[in-house]
Every structure is written in structure tokens, then in C-alpha cells.
Structure 1
């Protein structure tokens, strides 16, 4: 079933954006997620507010395999919501990730889930936020244009993406040079130009 870390890794969403994600913002037919709000915890209260910047309000396409998981997750979510009945405290909100009675989750809950997941599968420890960086790095190494990555992450400016992921971009540039080396090396050999 879809988890916060699957969505976090494939979309690059921030933790607060994941906590603020509602079913009305998930389009299972088009395979997109709209990032429209975030949940923060201040003075022992959950506050639903607009994302960090105007560019943080965005639509992100998700992998087809995740859509299938989200469909299963929504079915289970609806059954659980029905069981709660009049004990529901979520009001108008239908958060994907909430407490059993619909209230927003505390931000540390996602971190706790992630830490348990790492231990269960004997993964090296990284912060939950680092999934966002992993998402960007995987896209850079796959040759996705920096402007697309910047848009998926909700950065206000492509320069922010370039600055944060400079090291990964440099590695991708080295790989690009290696591809030329392989290309020219093969051509030289095939043309008998090798010394």
C-alpha cells in the first residue's frame, strides 16, 4: 500500500506537504498530485496553510505503479473512515496521512515511520527530508532537465535547484563526458583511427 515515503521519494514533496495532502488533490485518473497546502505544528496546534512559496503550489505526475498503490490505499482509507463514524474529528479535511480519527498527524510521526522502515529493511540511516534530495539526485542522474526537477520540488527559482544539487549535477556532467568518450572511442576504433 502507498506510504508517505513512496510518495515523498517519487514526488520530492516536503514532509509538511505530505501531511497536508488530501484525497481531493490526488487525481488517480490523470496520475497527478496537486500540492496546495502544508500542515505545520506550532504551539501544540496543527495549522493548515499555503505552501512555502507560490512555486511550491504545483502539480506533480506520479509513476503508474504508485497510482495502483494509491487506489488500494484509498479503498482501505474509505473503509477506515466509515468505521470511525461520528468519532471523526477531521472536519472537512480528508488527509491521506492522519490520525485514526482524521486529525492531522504530528510531523514526527512520519519521521518515526521512516526510522522503523529503515531498521526493518536494514537500510543506512538518512533523514526523511533526505528522500526529497534522493528524488532530485535520481532524476538528475537519469538525465531529467533541471527545470523539470525544480518544478517538481517547488523551488522558486531553478538557480535554487542548481545550487542545492550542484554536486549531483557535476557528477551527471562527468557521466555525460564519459558518454562522449565512449562514443568517440567506438568511432575511432570502427574507423581504424586508433593509434
Structure 2
């Protein structure tokens, strides 16, 4: 069996879901509170490739979930036990539920069948959210992880999914982090040990076989 055959078997649409992580306007949009990360995601074409993967999943019949980080106006329930969270409290744009900051960027096509999962706390788009239960109810065994960032949320998602028993596929050209050399090192030296690292084109080709 060739590597393309193995990838196609792993990505059977009936048992595969695509997860976009924090591809929201307040994180990677033009008004991002994290301009360096937003530039890395946009200038490298990551957001465009995430959009292509979402469209490909829709066409193939694979499930699509969007993980969005939100906050309440009063901040209740949010973590404050790390420097990252305390810095977020001081940012001028809050990821408030119902605002443009938590809407997906224009590169991401959203279908009526897509599921959106929000989180008020923590670092992971999976732990402490509905993602695992939704995936199991959908009959999914393989999870494609896309989006941002390779600094924190993407590694959390990959490790959590693997710990829960899912096969994880990581399109290395559809995830971003800063700086770029660090992001590449995370994929090469950590995530490649637990996930199948591939490309956007290879995933789309597998769905067309």
C-alpha cells in the first residue's frame, strides 16, 4: 500500500472530521489583537488553505467543526492563572460572544451542516469542550487539525485528540505559529511523533480518489 493509499484510507469522509482552530477575526483577521500571528497565517497562505480544506470536506461529505475562543463581557469563567491570560485581559479587542471578533474569517466557507464549538476557558479547543462528544456522535475516528496557533492551541488539540484515541492528521501548510522557525520545529520534532503530517493538496487528493 502506498502512502497515498494509506492517507486515503485514514481520511474516509464518513469517519473523518476537519477542525478549524481559532480562525476568527479577532485572532487572525485584519483587526487581530495578535498582528504577528495574523500576518503569519495570512501572508503564508495558511488561511486560504484552511478555506480550501473546509470546502473540500464539504464536497467530500466529511464533518466540519469550528473551534472558537470567546469571552464574556464580565470575564467570568476565564482563566487568570498564566501570563497569557492576564495579557489577554489588557488587549484592546476582546473575543466577546456575538461580536465580529469571534466570527470566522472570510476565507472560511461555512455550511449549515458545520458545528461551532466555543470555549470560555483554558488553552485547548478539545479538553473541556463538546468536541469529543460531537465527534463520537458523528462516528468520526480521524481528526484533521487546522488553524492557529502552533505555539499553544494546535499542540493542545493534537495531544488531546490522540489521548482520546483519534487518529490525527496535520496539514503542515494549514497551521501557523510564530516565529515561523519555531512553528516548523514544533511540527517536526513534536507533532510528527503523534500525528500524520501531510499537506493540503494531499488531503484534497485523497478525497478525490
| Both proteins in one fold, TM over 0.5 | no
Q: Please report the TM-score for the alignment, with normalisation by the length of structure 1.
A: 0.33
Larger RCO, structures 1/2 (Cα 8 Å, 6+ apart): 2
User: Which of structures 1 and 2 has the bigger CA Rg?
Assistant: 1
Greater fraction helix: 1
> How does the TM-score come out when normalised to structure 2?
0.31
